Structure 1
Amino acid sequence: MKRVRVDDIENSLQPAAVMRPLTDALGLTDLALNYYELEPGDSFAFAYHSHEVQEEAFYVISGTATFETEDGPVEVGPDEVVRFDRDEFQRGWNRGDESVRALALGAPLEYGNQQKLRYCATCDADTDTDLRAAADEEDAVVAECVECGAETGRWYRGSMDGEVP
């Protein structure tokens, strides 16, 4: 048995106010598990994305999360769970006025190839995106268009307002 306290896990640099990766802390080998707290405007992910291998489920503890899907937005409220199949595009947001607390579960642990789509103003289209650590700033992540190399987002530890560079 392995037991951890969520608040004891270091917060990860993500487009959410709080993202605590529980997978390694619990020694999980077949399941990805992450705890999230989203303030209004925060997202679970850096981009609209799909996983080649992994299916993903989100359990909303409190608040309401809105997921962008190929079929349009889907709201998931407290004590509800939504599941996304392999290769199904999605991105979850907090579009409300109150915080969202949720668990994200993915299985198997491996993602496989992950397509990440973000809007690129230079290309005037949703394009695949690469994420990297910012070379010019400590504790920042940058999204770049794979077509033209333009920056499409930047996130900072403690300030996750990175939708537009």
Structure 2
Amino acid sequence: MERLAVDEMDDRIGPAAVVRSLTEPLGLTDLAMNYYELEPGDSFAYAYHSHEIQEEVFYVIEGTATFETEAGDVEVESGEAVRFGPEEFQRGWNRGDERVVAIALGAPLSYGESVTLRHCPDCEEETDNDLGRADDEAAIVAHCTRCGTETGRWYRGSMPGEVP
């Protein structure tokens, strides 16, 4: 058995005010689990994205999350859950005035290939992006896979992470 206090976990760099990975501390081998607190304007993800083999479930504990989907925006309120299947595009946001608290579950643990669509100012359209650590390890950086332009940069606790 593994037990942990979520409030005592360290935050990781992410697109939300608080992102805590529970996967490794709980010793999970077949499931990814993350805890999120989103301030207004924050997101669960760095980009509108899909995972080749992983399905994701978001359970909203507090607030209302809005998910961009191919079918349009979907609001998920406190006490509700939403599931996205493999290869289904989505990105969740806090578009309200109140904090959103949620748990995200993904299975299997591996994503397979991911597609991360972000606006590239040089290509002037949505393009796939690679995510990686900045040279100083202090930030996560997104780069357009077509032209290499930086399209986003996130620091621990800083938002929104979009390149001006």
Q: State the TM-score, normalized to the length of structure 1.
A: 0.97
SS in 2 for 1:24: coil
C-alpha displacement at 1:94, in angstroms? 0.3
Aligned structure 1 segments of 4 or more residues deviating by more than 4 angstroms? none
Q: Which residue of the partner structure matches residue 160 of structure 1?
A: 159
C-alpha displacement at 1:164, in angstroms? 2.2
The one-letter amino acid of 2:72's match is G
Q: 1:18-43: per-residue Cα shift (whole Å, max 9, x none)? A: 01000111001111110000000000
- RMSD after superposition: 0.9
SS in 1 for 2:88: coil
2:68 and 2:142 map into 1 onto residues whose CA distance is: 19
Q: Which residue of the partner structure matches residue 141 of structure 1?
A: 140
Is residue 23 of structure 1 aligned with residue 23 of structure 2? Answer: yes
Q: Which residue of the partner structure matches residue 8 of structure 2?
A: 8
**Alignment: residue pair count:** 164
The one-letter amino acid of 1:155's match is W
1:138 and 1:30 map into 2 onto residues whose CA distance is: 28
2:71 and 2:142 map into 1 onto residues whose CA distance is: 25
1:25 and 1:118 map into 2 onto residues whose CA distance is: 31
CA contact (8 A) 2:16 2:157 kept: no
Percent sequence identity is 67
Is residue 70 of structure 1 aligned with residue 76 of structure 2? Answer: no
* Structure 1 unmatched runs, 5+: none
* Structure 2 unmatched runs, 5+: none
The one-letter amino acid of 1:159's match is S
The one-letter amino acid of 2:32's match is A
The one-letter amino acid of 2:60's match is V
Q: 1:5-60: per-residue Cα shift (whole Å, max 9, x none)? A: 00121101001000100011100111111000000000000010001010000000
Q: 1:58-77: per-residue Cα shift (whole Å, max 9, x none)? A: 00000000000000100000
- Identify the range of structure 1 (61-70 vs 126-135) with the bigger mean alpha-carbon deviation: 126-135
Is residue 123 of structure 1 aligned with residue 123 of structure 2? Answer: yes
Q: Which residue of the partner structure matches residue 61 of structure 1?
A: 61
